[in-house]
Amino acid sequence: MLLNYIKIAWKVLLRHPFYTFITLFGISLTLTVLMVLTSFLDHLLGGHYPENKRDRSLYVMLMVQRDSSLTGRNSGPMSFKFLTNYAKTLESPERVTIFSAFNSSNAYVGSQKIKLNTKFTDADFWQVMDFEFLEGKPYTEQHIRNGSYVVVITDGFKKQYFENTNEPVVGKDVEIEGIHYKVIGVVKGSPVTRPITYADVFFPYTAPKSNYQRSGLRGGFMSVILAKDKSDLVAVRNEFQGRIDRIPLPGVEDGFKYAQLEAKAEPYAENFIGQILDGGPGLKTIFFGIIAFVLFMLLGLPAINLVNVNVSRIMERASEIGIRKAFGAPVKTLVWQFIVENIFITFLGGAIALILTLIVIHLINSSGWIAYADLTINVNVFLISLLVCLVFGLLSGVLPALRMSKLNIAEALKS
């Protein structure tokens, strides 16, 4: 019977190529946008190269200091010293890394200037992050203690600086801002959408210009705390918070008197969303307003279109329905026929969307729009989007079904 329904559904779709096209277009567009968006969110927030361990990492990226009237506020990364005292020495985590936010710098190849992003890190950085070393090795505690002039560079920078050489460059010299460093390792780069690990050149934090000796709480550094296990995250957070709570208040930083101090160790996604929402209630409203609007445009309109198209498509078949009823089709059977039809077209749309999404993702990945982009289709995302479409498909089957059960056969056959 099901096969029969599908056969009928297929015939009906072929019978109305234009409507079928519109419907399929709506469904597949919705699903494609949905899948690309979630794939992008997953790219931004999920655990991917080289931050593969995000699910058991806590990010300490920002300190906020407020004055007693809560009108003045001072926020940004922290000092190396502060992070050493308050994060590095935590007892519950497996490992803690401290590194700088990325800074811009210049290097010269001949007379040509290369703009590059640099980052100062400790040795643990290479343990917490899962960089793939194409050549050489990361710098070690030893290098850091000795203040060695060594760097880890990305394959992208290697290409630029060494003019597309295929030869290994470990041991070679790079000159950045007038200082010579020895290349000790080459890694596959991280996309700019992962600012924690994005850089062209990595220095040991004891290299010049890192400012790691700065006193005070604020500075240019951030930290990632790697818990032993996902289930430990809460405990690690609490330990860190306990230490923050013991910081004597009020205090003075660069002449700014603060009465309150906030530094959070948060999972990456929480931190990311927190930063968007940090802009106060106005921005929050706009943010959620935009999300609601976009969701409505992406899901609501195609859904309404879907319902509308299905209803008119089925009502157009009033006389056929009349005939079928006259020869003994129970309403229930006809309703099933429509539901199967809607589900069938939804699956077709889903299949098209899957292909479209793969194409779009491939285009994004290969366009260089985001260097090192590695978007993938998330199976869960796909299933959820399909489910959403199925629900709409069912909904749009119910409405005509209601109309149909009221349809008087004699009336339907008159037209």
Partner 1 sequence: MITLQNIEKVYRTSTIETLALNNINLDIKKGEFVSIMGPSGCGKSTLLNVMGLLDEPSKGTVQLDGQPVTQYRDKELARLRNQKIGFIFQSFHLINDLTVLDNVEIPLLYRSQNGKPRQEYAKEALTKVGLSNRVKHFPKQLSGGQKQRVAIARAIVGNPDIILADEPTGNLDSAMGNEIMNILQQLNDDGATIVMVTHDEQMAKRTHRLIRLFDGTQVL
Chain residues binding partner 1 by CB under 8 A are: 4, 11-12, 15, 319-320, 322-333, 405, 408-410, 413
- Of 146 and 408, the one with the shorter C-beta distance to partner 1 is 408
Q: How far is the CB of 7 from partner 1 (least distance, A)?
A: 10
C-beta of 37 vs 323, nearer to partner 1: 323
Closest distance of CB 311 from partner 1, Å:
19
Q: What is the C-alpha end-to-end distance of the chain, expressed in Å? A: 29
Angle between helices 379-406 and 301-315 in degrees, nearest 10: 40
In angstroms, what is the minimal distance from the CB of 328 to partner 1? Answer: 2
Q: Nearest distance from residue 400's CB to partner 1, in Å? A: 16
Which residue's CB is nearer to partner 1, number 173 or number 320? 320
CA atoms within a 13 Å half-sphere pointing along the CA-CB vector of 292: 6
194 close to 181: Cβ distance less than 8 angstroms: no
- Write down the least CB distance from residue 412 to partner 1, Å: 9
If the CB atoms of residues 11 and 180 are measured against partner 1, the closer one turns out to be 11
**Nearer of residues 151 and 318 to partner 1, judged by Cβ:** 318
Count each helix (H run) and each strand (E run) in the chain, helices first.
Answer: 14, 15
Residue 9 or 98: which CB sits closer to partner 1? Answer: 9
Q: Enumerate residues 6+ apart whose C-beta is below 8 A from 219.
A: 77, 78, 79, 80, 81, 82, 211, 212
Nearer to partner 1, 259 or 413 (CB): 413
CB of 270 or CB of 411, closer to partner 1:
411
For residue 101, what is the DSSP state? P
379: Cα separation from own chain's centroid: 15
Q: In this structure, are residues 77 and 220 in contact, taking their beta carbons and an 8 Å threshold?
A: yes
The minimum distance between CB 361 and partner 1, in angstroms, equals 39
CB nearer partner 1, residue 335 or residue 370:
335
What radius of gyration do the chain's Cα atoms show? 30
**What single DSSP character describes residue 86?**
I
What minimum distance in Å lies between the beta carbon of 307 and partner 1?
23
Q: Kindly state the tokens that stand for 198.
A: 């994005």
DSSP letter string, 269-330: HHHHHHHHHTT-HHHHHHHHHHHHHHHIIIIIHHHHHHHHHHHHHHHTTHHHHHHHHHTT--
Token code pair at residue 224: 């990632």
CA distance 170 to 357: 40
Give min distance, CB of 356 to partner 1, in A. Answer: 30
3-state helix, strand, coil in the chain (%, to 5): 50, 20, 30
Min dist CB 415 to partner 1, Å, is: 10
Q: Which residues contact 264 (CB under 8 A, 6 or more apart)?
A: 60, 62, 241, 271, 274
241, 104 in Cβ contact below 8 A?
Answer: no
